[in-house]
Structure 1
């Protein structure tokens, strides 16, 4: 019985360890060993059972279900049914990876094959490539939720994550996955060597350690490279901390705006280069409601610098979740419309085709936003700085940030409203994912949240300033006054120029490896069918 249950226990343990790597737990260094139990269950289970594809998929699914149940639990503050549905869906990705990883090891392979360094390197490299490929696919296939890739767990390991300016998060995930797979293979190899009383040089493990060391060395070099020419930008980010039921209430619109005004007046007195309000902070559209426009315009005219805020925009060409930048004391208004919308948050997919679905979420999403089409840089007047605007979850989408950087953005500016998550781990997870946009493109970021994490992040991914109360909580009403160094000229990184070429290459390699493995499995089955085992009969 224990031999039957043990693989399932190991799979669940991997999911549990992976869940501990992210907030609210935040034990990121566990990621280096979190996959080992699952890998052991997939590769080194009793021979009579390990070749059953249903069981293999089930092990991966179990691990994925436990992992996402822990790491995405903050979704319950929005919707329990949606949380459950996403768990069942996202767990499929780990089930797919389990099938892929198992297919890499021939069912008829001798146990001694694990004594070979080349064999171990092959399966570990390909297994890691498959992991990266599936992480990337999770971020591009509907609902395009690439949140909490394996590499995100190392967001505080500043030296190691610098490789993301070449590979994106996928490169960090590859490194961690490779280490996990090689640890499992090395333990198996050591057990076999002890059993046979013969030791060999572990070149496979040495290559893995060298890969980690080279990545770390690359990062250290980046950390000690002189900063490019820059200028200081002072800013005041207003965190309104307005509850959702108040912010969305038309009857309390004046109260919300007056509260924002009273918070902003001290910021104006400090004369920063830029004042920021968070996402959709004005209950009515800035350019569609006279009271809202008059109040915001009045504040902008008192301010010597620029004024940026999140707002909605009802236009003749669509309805948008937008960012507005008021310059020259509100004489000019620049608009950017959010491009990457959140399904079931900002629009209902196939609303017209499935009216029943629209009825179910009708109270939460009575109408749809339209996606913006243009990558619009916002240009400050107070300083010669071009901002790459990102709204809410857009700072977790690497390709969006990359395209703004490619256009010449010198700083990302994020307006978000994490109030939907209440005081859950969602806000901190959101920040940890956003850190990589700075690392990938080597430009800084300013984040203004209604509630959650209002902060400044430098070009290396170091969170420099965070708005907190005396207890350390980020869930408060207040203003973050700070300065951030803005590069006066940008030199696009490899990732900025070429995007997710590493992850896409991993996908291509994985598909090729899968095709070869499936062909081998087909030939083995054909061979076993044409050569049935001999049946022994006893003499009468």
Structure 2
């Protein structure tokens, strides 16, 4: 039966092959948050393997034809995956629909089309290494992993919805990220989920069955290690330190309208001082007050009364850490100034004592690549900032009041594995401020949250997340959410700060596993397996 199913995919051709790959890729997005239906990859990855089995060399096209056909299959799969997994980005173009609404269909299609080029390249590489029988599973896993790793690094990098996240859907399963990181999980994911395809094809029965058995053993090992690690987890809190995270749930469409400016500022001040329990009667019981990314709809430099109002709010013991836009005059640029997306530390006197400027900016959201060309035809970033934001010089840690030093991350800076903690003295925690209000009640904020949780596990550091519309959370170094406010909920989180763990294996040696895993798959792709004739798959 399985051989008959595989044969139908293998012999598909032309638009049918492309459509099958597109649908399989789209279905694979269900493995990502908020659905987390990761078993679906046990169906879609074998389909992709069988489609590539059918990309055979002919006398007319030769081997190059087979490689190009595999690339085409990979592109269709990738396009379906990224379209289904990232459609919510189009929601941002509707915030200011009169200006950007016309661009939404193009943006929703263009980003998946570009990202799918990585999947195409990965499948082309896999086809170059393709061999009969179980060996092709290793070639497939190698190509898929290299595609995801390249996607996370080429140009500005966009490691969103890496396939490794499908192996980190529960607190127990995500613990393996402390050993090998999400890139290591990505190396395993291609092998694990494609392994059923080995049941069809040439090779001895033991070799063909061995790969799915090995995949199940890997899954059991991930779950078992995570269960064991969590059973031993005992997270202490930093003594005498109280945090308050403010989540105002302000709709992005009204945030920057001038008539709402004073109302929004007043709402922040009111939420910051609200009583939540007999033990926390207001801001007088808080040490660190945290506001989300670009919290206020103005610049401190343009509103001289704002900092004194904040000083009037803050008791002597309390420090504010807030996402905020920051301006610097610079006559060398056409607009005469540079604008930064920043995190500011403000003391009880209303003095800005430290500022971190976001290093990794969002293309087309915060700046325009090839700005002169695109601006000449009338395009502008979604934030409508003339000239775009300026990137900060360097990632670094910050100090806020009595809290341990922390790593500041603005928005999607939290999605880059192995790049969130700068070299030098290890911080005590990670702060991620974000504004996911651009994307409304869609899958985007849930995907963003999952990636932030995995950064906490990889680094062994607690992560505090302040989001305008949610999901705000206090996450311990095991990736568990100690407290959270759901999407669209207005309120505050009062919490202690979890203590960090010792440096994890991933934070010190994570890349070693990734490189070793890739090398092993390349070796296994050429390793001879016991041969026994089975279902015939067209090969060169």
**Which band: TM-score by shorter chain?**
0.7 to 0.9
Out of 44-53 and 429-438, give the one that drifted further. Answer: 44-53
Determine the structure 2 residue equivalent to 1:72: 86
Aligned: 1:247 with 2:255:
yes
Aligned-partner SS, 1:78: helix
User: C-alpha distance in 1, partners of 2:218/2:489?
Assistant: 43
Alignment of 1:9-48 (within 5 A): 9-43=19-53
Match of 1:312 in 2: 325
Could you report, residue by residue, the CA deviation over 1:513-540 in whole angstroms, capped at 9, with x for unpaired residues?
Answer: 9999xxxxxxxxxxxxxxxxxxxxxxxx
The yes-or-no answer on 1:103 pairing with 2:128 is yes
Deviates more, 1:16-25 or 1:94-103: 16-25
Bigger mean CA deviation after superposition, 58-67 or 325-334 = 325-334
Which residue pairs with 1:436 in the alignment?
A: 454
SS at match of 1:492: coil
Residue 289 of structure 2 is matched in structure 1 by 275
Between 1:42-51 and 1:226-235, the stretch displaced more is 42-51
Determine the structure 2 residue equivalent to 1:373: 393
Give the whole-Å Cα distance in 1 for the aligned partners of 2:310 and 2:447: 31
Query: What does the per-residue CA deviation read over 1:410-467, in whole Å, with 9 as the maximum and x for residues that have no partner?
Result: 1111111111112221111111111110010011111111113111111111223221
For residue 68 of structure 2, what is the aligned residue in structure 1? 54
Greater radius of gyration (CA): 1
SS at match of 2:496: strand
Post-superposition Cα deviations, 1:209-240, rounded to whole Å, max 9, x if no partner, equal 44333333433332233436642543221111
Give the one of 220, 227, 230 matched to 1:220. 227
Give the equivalent residue in structure 1 for 2:163. Answer: 150
Aligned with 1:401 (options 405, 420, 423): 420
Whether 1:265 and 2:273 are equivalent positions in the alignment is yes
Structure 2 residue ranges without an equivalent (≥5): 1-6, 94-103, 276-281, 331-337, 528-540
Report if the CA contact (8 A) 2:358-2:410 is conserved.
yes
Distance in 1 (CA, whole Å) between partners of 2:213 and 2:20 is 26
> Are residues 234 and 408 of structure 1, via their aligned partners in 2, closer, same or farther at CA, if it must alter by over 3 Å?
same
SS in structure 1 of the partner of residue 274 of structure 2: helix
C-alpha distance in structure 2 between counterparts of 1:99 and 1:465, whole Å:
45
Deviation at 1:169, TM superposition (A): 0.6
Could you tell me which residue of structure 2 aligns to residue 519 of structure 1? none
1:65 to 1:12, Cα distance in 2 relative to 1, 3 A: same
Deviation at 1:153, TM superposition (A): 2.7
CA-CA distance at 1:312 after TM superposition: 1.2
**Residue 482 of structure 1 is aligned with which of 471, 495, 501?**
495
Does the alignment pair 1:356 with 2:395?
no
| Aligned pairs, number | 488
CA displacement at 1:138 relative to structure 2: 0.7
CA gap of 1:206–1:248, structure 2 versus 1, over 3 A, is same
Q: Is the 8 A contact 2:429 2:461 kept in 1?
A: yes
* 1:63 equivalent in structure 2: 77
Equivalent in the alignment of 2:367: 347
Deviations 1:74-115 (A, max 9, x none): 011124122221121111122122212222224xxxxxx52x
TM-score by length of 1: 0.81
Structure 1 residues 464 and 97 mapped into 2: Cα distance closer, same or farther (>3 Å)? same
Preserved contact between residue 403 and residue 496 of structure 1 (Cα < 8 Å)? no
Question: What is the DSSP-based 3-state SS (H/G/I as helix, E as strand, rest coil) of the residue aligned with 1:177?
Answer: helix
Q: 1:342-395: CA deviations, max 9, x gaps? A: 111111122135542564558834232111123332223234x12211111111
Instruction: For 2:83 and 2:43, locate their aligned partners in 1 and report how far apart those are by CA, in whole Å.
Output: 19
CA shift in 2, pair 1:57/1:371, >3 Å: same
Q: Does 1:494 find its partner at 2:505?
A: yes
Q: Give the superposed CA RMSD.
A: 3.2
The answer for the alignment partner of 2:407 in structure 1 is 388
User: Which consecutive unaligned segments of at least 5 residues does structure 1 have?
Assistant: 107-112, 115-119, 469-473, 517-540
- Give TM-score scaled by structure 2 length: 0.81
Contact residue 238 and residue 276 of structure 1 kept, 8 A: yes
- 2:245 corresponds, among 204, 223, 237, to 237
Match of 1:450 among 468, 479, 488: 468
The structural deviation recorded for 1:38 is: 0.8
Deviation string 1:473-514 (CA, Å, 9 cap, x unpaired) is x21222122334223xx5222322345444456677889999
Q: 1:329 Cα deviation (Å)?
A: 5.0
**For residues 360 and 394 of structure 1, what CA distance do their matches in structure 2 show?**
22
1:535 matched to which residue of 2?
none
Distance 1:65-1:374 versus aligned 2 partners, 3 A rule: closer
Give the Cα separation in 1 of the matches to 2:525 and 2:213: 26
Q: Per-residue CA shift, 1:282-332, capped at 9, x if unaligned? A: 2222355312212222222x3633221111111357431111122355456
Cα drift, residue 256 of structure 1: 1.8
* Mapped partners of 1:31, 1:235: distance in 2: 40
CA distance in 2, matches of 1:38, 1:265: 55
Three-state SS of the structure 2 residue aligned to 1:399 is: coil
Q: Distance in 2 between matches of 1:153 and 1:270?
A: 43
2:98 maps to which residue? none
CA contact (8 A) 2:26 2:82 kept: no
Q: Distance in 1 between matches of 2:383 and 2:341?
A: 18
- Quick one: which of 343, 349, 373 aligns to 1:323? 343
Question: How far apart in 2 are the matches of 1:70 and 1:256?
Answer: 34
Q: CA deviation at 1:269?
A: 4.1
The reply on whether 1:411 has 2:422 as its aligned counterpart is: no
- Are residues 21 and 270 of structure 1, via their aligned partners in 2, closer, same or farther at CA, if it must alter by over 3 Å? farther
Q: Secondary structure at the match of 1:4?
A: coil
Whether the 8 Å CA contact 1:22–1:28 is kept in 2: the answer is yes
Deviation sequence 1:244-288 (CA, Å, 0-9, x none): 233223443222211211222216346123211111112222355
